[in-house]
Structure 1
Amino acid sequence: MLDFAIFAVTFVIILVGAVLYLYPVNGNLQDIVNRGSLHEFLVSLHQEFGSVASFWFGGRPVVSLGSVHQLQQHINPNHSTDSFETMLKSLLGYQSGIGGGANESVIRKKVYENAINTMLKNNFSLVLKLVDELVGKWRSFPEDQHTPLCAHLLGLALKAVTQLALGERFRDDTEVISFRKNHDAIWSEIGKGYLDGSLEKSSSRKERYEKALSEMESMLVSVEKERKAQRRQTAFVDSLLQSSLTERQIMEDCMVFTLAGSVITANLCIWALHFLSTSEEVQDKLYQELEDVLGSDPISLDKIAQLTYCQQVLNETVRTAKLTPVAARLQEVEGKVDQHVIPKETLVIYALGVVLQDSETWRTPYRFDPDRFKEESARKSFCLLGFSGNQTCPELRFAYTVATVLLSTLVRQLKLHQLKGQVMEVRSELVSTPKDETWITVSRRS
């Protein structure tokens, strides 16, 4: 199965951007703009035409699948070793590979995944330390003080990703701030500039994007050289240095992980704490599981698998927030979904945001209810969509680990409270992100 669920939408963005540039008035492009996002357009499309629907990106026909049943039919006969990293690298203009063959791609993917696993094993205590610092800060706040989730949790994600991936250099806050400046400039254009075609039409924005990308690449190359000279073996980059990858390939993999890992981790944590703040019952159930499994001990890497309800909370966070609302792949050979023939080289969109809130798959789909994942059917549907199991992308697995450490530390010490009257609006781009800062208050557990 293609690791499509997280950020496969980047491939869509390349095509949309190209089409918008070449065919600015054709097809359904204006409809997408009018709806505000590709996700919102797909919601209306499937409401009107059912779970299999077609539309036009400029002069190109596209098929969109909007139910678990149709997705299952399409995924199973189209098994591919291509991963999201390949597509994100394409968006960034990275084309290098080990040797170009399928086996080489699989090897490179395994090197990447093993590097993340080794990094977490070697640096789990650092994740605990960063989370403890944040929770300690929140404990010091007066109970009526408003706490900004987006600012604090993006800071946590950036520190965790840079220090674990690139090493001790990023214990210096000035290095993290510099990283964030370029990260934000790159990611904002990946999320927006390609979708609306505006990046190619603005020379000043394109210049800023290219400058940020160049500075980030230079920084990653310098880190690579430093770590190679030091012969350390604790960070993500160190594992890559032990492999047969070239200097360029190592830089590319570090770019992909630090870019995507920061955004996925931050937004998973933001949405999880937001939803927890809306339900005292869920917080209490999570607190009880943490007490039963961990007692007064800190979380450890081997205990994460025992936190069943915590996993349910994070799964439900991904589902309710529609963390990645759209994914895509090219039809490699002619295929069929129900009675619909899909010609070779058709762009097929997986409308994940539609499927994640489909009432035929999920009871009371707009309600945050972690207990739904007690059911085998819910777990199977979630796994099919690529959000759990062996096909989960490495960046999401990393984010789940950091989020579990955060929840296990925070919920045992503090209660989260929603601000009255706060309305959450979502920006559905590559990752569903709150449009504005999200605030909560905290109080100490007695």
Structure 2
Amino acid sequence: MLDFAIFAVTFVIILVGAVLYLYPSSRTASGIPGLNPTDEKDGNLQDIVSKGSLHEFLMNLHQEFGSVASFWFGGRPVVSLGCVEQLKQHINPNHTTDSFETMLKSLLGYQSGMGGGASETVLRKKVYETAVNNTMKNNFPFVVKLVEELVRKWKSLPEAQHIPLCAHQLGLAMKTVTQLALGERFKDDSVVISFHKNHDAIWSEIGKGFLDGSLEKSSSRKRHYEKALSEMEALLLSVVKERKPQKKRMAFVDALLESRLTERQIMEDCMVFTLAGCVITANLCIWALHFLSTSEEVQEKLYKELEEVLGSDPVSLDKIPQLRYCQQVLNETVRTAKLTPVAARLQEVEGKVDQHVIPKETLVIYALGVVLQDSSTWSTPYRFDPDRFEEESVKKSFCLLGFSGNQTCPELRFAYMVATVLLSTLVRELKLHKLKGQVMEVKSELVCTPKEENWITVSKRS
């Protein structure tokens, strides 16, 4: 059970899980430098736990053994890649599934539609991505409305008022994602609060409890998690049923209802989108505003672009591509904050990276948090510098990592839209100020989040 728990936190893709049980173990990591297992049964689990997170563990691993390194999940060797050049060489044609989506479905125990072959997988992915894209297009004015409400609230506060950045951005993300995904029922704050409670209970265990096996060791925590998951599933299934008769199709769930998916499959996709969408959107907005509050120069450059492109008009979908510097600010936010520090792929065919052979059926980890702050790829990597994205080589490296272009996950595209509306509305009205002496410490889990509340102040633009 502990072996399963290890994989469960690090994208236990169902196919990967099957491989781990069906294929015989090798006692060498194909000659790739790395750690020997510290425990015959658990591999390097205790090393990961002692470092505090998989990301911190990978940082130390690559610092010691280089950009291609190995370690052990239970009795199985795993290869980690920690440099853009090595990622470019990695041979893996498995682009039919999104690793974040399949990870969440596996953790939640969802298997419907996962075993129907490559064609069904591609079709399911296309339905999901089309639903997200249509939801953003159809509901863009509503996102602007929610953001404008938040900005008006901030404008009404005294300039010395400390604003809890994390709480406000999580609230914005919850309202936006639930109403766009599930419809009008979530205009009721009490429904959103109930959703938030269960969302937190589920996500906290996905982000931590599976990694160290502590969920299985605590019957009370496991009951709490299972109760929250059961209540969330019941809520989503009830939404699916009540939306079926409606002729007006605007929400994410409505787009799924127009497909051939079963009610169960629609519920599962709604669960994945709302779980991931809330967390990624909230944290992209939190980190973007945090970094802006630390740089008056970046704020002013962004303000000038917004004035030139938008004037006094609200942001619109057709204007977003013209906001190039705003895009650079968000790209640099993702990079500097290491928003999603780890991804994974299954090696479907034997591959080679540098002189190292990676056997078929090997789990390959992309240590994105390491790559995003690798000095050989990014100059002054720990500095928040949106101007770096003016260089074509930087854009290509970022795209290769899956943070822009066709490989961007739908939840991140959604988060970019909300964050663009937020920045384009807020920065034209207010200046952001960081509180002196405040340090932003990070929890590096599946999505990097602040460990504690982050406070800022604002002042009105004259």
TM-score above 0.5: yes
Give 1:303's match in structure 2, choosing from 319, 339, 346: 319
Partner Cα separation in structure 2 for residue 115 and residue 440 of structure 1? 35
Q: How does 1:218-229 map to 2 (within 5 A)?
A: 218-229=234-245
The change in CA–CA distance for 1:8 and 1:206 in structure 2 (over 3 A counts) is closer
C-alpha displacement at 1:59, in angstroms?
1.5
Counterpart position of 2:197: 181
Deviation string, structure 1 residues 392-434 (Cα, Å, up to 9, x no partner): 0000000000000000000000000000000111000010000
Of 132, 154, 169 in structure 2, the residue corresponding to residue 138 of structure 1 is 154
Corresponding residue for residue 33 of structure 1: 49
RMSD after superposition: 1.8
- Helix, strand or coil at the partner of 1:195: coil
| 1:379 CA drift (Å) | 0.3
1:2-38 CA distances to partner (integer Å, 9 max, x unpaired)? xxxxx994338997xx99xxx7964322221221111
**CA shift at 1:229, angstroms?**
2.2
Which stretch shifts more, 26-35 or 173-182?
26-35
Query: Are the counterparts in 1 of residues 45 and 73 from structure 2 also a CA contact under 8 Å?
Result: yes
Map 1:426-441 to 2 at 5 A.
Answer: 426-441=442-457
- Which amino acid in structure 2 is aligned with residue 435 of structure 1? K
Separation in structure 1 between the aligned mates of residue 247 and residue 227 of structure 2, nearest angstrom: 30
Specify the code of the residue in structure 2 equivalent to 1:437: E
Q: How far apart, CA to CA, are the structure 2 residues paired with 1:273 and 1:239?
A: 32
The answer to whether structure 1 residue 335 and structure 2 residue 351 are counterparts is: yes
Specify the SS of the correspondent of 1:55: strand
So what's the TM-score if we normalise by structure 2? Answer: 0.91
In structure 2, the CA distance between the partners of 1:99 and 1:93, relative to structure 1 (3 Å rule), is: closer
Residues in 1 aligned to 2:444 and 2:306: alpha-carbon distance in whole angstroms = 32
**Deviation digits for residues 87-117 of structure 1, max 9, x if unmatched?**
3211110000187021111111111111111
SS in 2 for 1:252: helix
1:292-441 alignment runs, 5 A limit: 292-441=308-457
CA-to-aligned-CA distance 1:256-312 (integer Å, 9 cap, x gap): 000000000000000000000000000000000000000000000111111000000
Q: Is contact 1:12-1:327 (8 Å) kept?
A: no
Query: Which of 81, 95, 102 is equivalent to 1:80?
Result: 95
Q: CA deviation at 1:163?
A: 0.4
CA distance in structure 2 between the partners assigned to 1:99 and 1:256 by the alignment:
18
Q: Specify the code of the residue in structure 2 equivalent to 1:151.
A: A
Please give the per-residue CA displacement for 1:30-56, whole angstroms capped at 9, x wherever unaligned.
221221111111111111111011111
Aligned partner of 2:176 in structure 1 is: 160
**Contact conserved, 2:13 with 2:106, CA < 8 A, in 1?**
no
Q: Name the SS of the counterpart of 1:230 in structure 2.
A: coil
Matched AA of 1:343: P
1:67 equivalent in alignment to 2:83: yes
Verify the 8 A CA contact 1:46 1:52 in the aligned structure 2. yes
Which is further off, 321-330 or 79-88? 79-88
Secondary structure of the residue aligned to 2:136 is helix
The residue that corresponds to 2:109 in the other structure is: 93
Shift of 1:119: 1.0
Using a 3 Å threshold, how does the CA distance of structure 1 residues 8 and 407 change in structure 2: closer, same or farther?
Answer: farther
Aligned partners of 2:92 and 2:348 also within 8 Å: no
Matched, 1:207 2:223: yes
CA distance in 1, matches of 2:385, 2:343: 24
Instruction: Give the match's secondary structure for 1:364.
Output: coil
Give the alignment partner of residue 304 of structure 2, picking from 278, 281, 288: 288
Q: Which residue of the partner structure matches residue 11 of structure 1?
A: 12
Tell me the secondary structure at the aligned position of residue 254 of structure 2: helix
- Equivalent residue for 1:3? none
Q: CA deviation at 1:332?
A: 1.5
Q: CA deviation at 1:331?
A: 1.5
Aligned to 1:254: 270
Is 1:265 equivalent to 2:272 in the alignment?
Answer: no
**Compared with structure 1, are the counterparts of its residues 421 and 70 closer, same or farther at alpha carbon in structure 2 (3 Å cutoff)?**
same
Whole-angstrom distance in 2 between the partners of 1:172 and 1:409: 25
Q: Secondary structure at the match of 1:302?
A: coil
Contact 2:9–2:210 (CA under 8 A) maintained in structure 1: no
Question: Contact between 1:98 and 1:245, CA under 8 Å: does it hold in 2?
Answer: no
Paired position in structure 1 for 2:27:
none
What stretches of structure 2 of length at least 5 have no aligned partner? 1-7, 22-38
Structure 1 distance, partners of 2:213, 2:375, is 34
Asked whether the 8 Å contact 1:10–1:430 carries over to 2, the reply is no
* TM-score normalised per structure 1: 0.94
Preserved contact between residue 116 and residue 398 of structure 1 (Cα < 8 Å): yes
Pick aligned residue for 1:170 from 155, 166, 186: 186
Equivalent in 112, 118, 134 of residue 128 of structure 2: 112
Q: Counterpart of 2:97 in structure 1: which amino acid?
A: D
SS in 2 for 1:62: strand
Instruction: Give the distance between the partners of 1:142 and 1:108, measured in 2 at CA.
Output: 49
- CA pair 107-12 structure 1, distance change in 2 beyond 3 A: closer
Superposed CA deviations along residues 60-92 of structure 1, whole A, max 9, x for unmatched, are 111111000111111x54343122322321111
Q: How far, CA to CA, are the matches of 1:396 and 1:402 in structure 2?
A: 10
Residues 44-53 or 27-36, more deviating = 27-36
Distance 1:175 1:278 in 2: 35
Q: Are the counterparts in 1 of residues 284 and 339 from structure 2 also a CA contact under 8 Å? A: yes
Instruction: Name the CA shift for 1:114/1:263 in 2 (closer, same or farther; >3 Å).
Output: same
